Amino acid sequence: MHPASRVKCRMVRMSGRTGRIAAGLSPLFLVAAIGAGSGGAGATGGHTIRPDALIYFFDQIALRQQEPPPGVRPKWVRRWNGPVAVTLSGEIPAGFGARLDRSLADISRWTGQRFARAAGAAKAPRRKRISIRIVPHAAMLQRYGPGGHVCTAATFGWNGRLHTARIEISDRYTDCLDHELMHALGFDGHWLASNRDNAIRSVLARRDTPARRLRFTRFDTIAIRTLYHQTLAPGMARENALAQARRILKSPPRL
């Protein structure tokens, strides 16, 4: 067992936080033909996405430590073993519940595990649960100050297995739903694309960058499918996970 897998950890991720860009990986000299489209992977805007770029993307958002959170940040695979119940509370904006249901249906398809809303908080299990709360924006300002965080996600697990997650979303920034759901799935990092020429787009990019999208992109889909591929196990060390990801992304998962 990886030594860090014995450590119980609590991860907190907040929208808009930044970190240092990690060193690049060696290229695989293969082309990833994943399909073109708005926000999609493959040949987009004159760019062709290579497997080494996809691996770098996956490594950055799933396996690398970008910032020092409270406690220990193990560099390992962190994911759910479903099914997972999702609860929604607070002042729910019109249409938000339907959008959440669509995102959960997509996540269920990509992970092969069931993520679905529970009938109510009282009926949801204490473990294997993601709790989402819509918070008045004034409360977020009071907590974090002007220019502070507008959405947060905290995940809790043991030996790489997530068992609970809590998401808070400002009622003025409900467009960060998919961003926080990716954090809840086990993606602790952010996509730190550095310039407009970078063809990878993601909901995990910082809000103030050209790479940011508000809905899951094809790149996000590939990352989710990779993290939940049968060959990646909770608690797997980063080096082993990257070796498996290289094999997976030589022939990227079907979207």
Residue pLDDT, tens place only, 155-207 = 999 999 999 999 999 999 999 999 999 999 999 999 987 654 478 999 999 88
On whether the CB atoms of residues 63 and 242 are closer than 8 A, the answer is yes
Domain ranges, residue 179: 1-255
Mean pLDDT over 227-234 rounds to 96
Q: How confident is the model at residue 16 (pLDDT cuts 50, 70, 90)?
A: very low
Q: How confident is the model at residue 64 (pLDDT cuts 50, 70, 90)?
A: confident
Whether 72 has a pLDDT exceeding 60, the answer reads: no
Whether 232 has a pLDDT exceeding 90, the answer reads: yes
Mean pLDDT over 31-40 rounds to 33
CATH code assigned at 116 = 3.40.390
Number of domains observed in the structure of the chain: 1
Whether 38 has a pLDDT exceeding 70, the answer reads: no
Residue pLDDT, tens place only, 76-129 = 899 999 899 999 999 999 999 999 999 999 999 999 999 999 977 666 677 899
Average pLDDT of the chain?
Answer: 78
Mean pLDDT over 18-32 rounds to 27
Residue 48: predicted pLDDT? 61
Q: How confident is the model at residue 66 (pLDDT cuts 50, 70, 90)?
A: low
Whether 136 has a pLDDT exceeding 80, the answer reads: yes
Residue 151: predicted pLDDT? 93
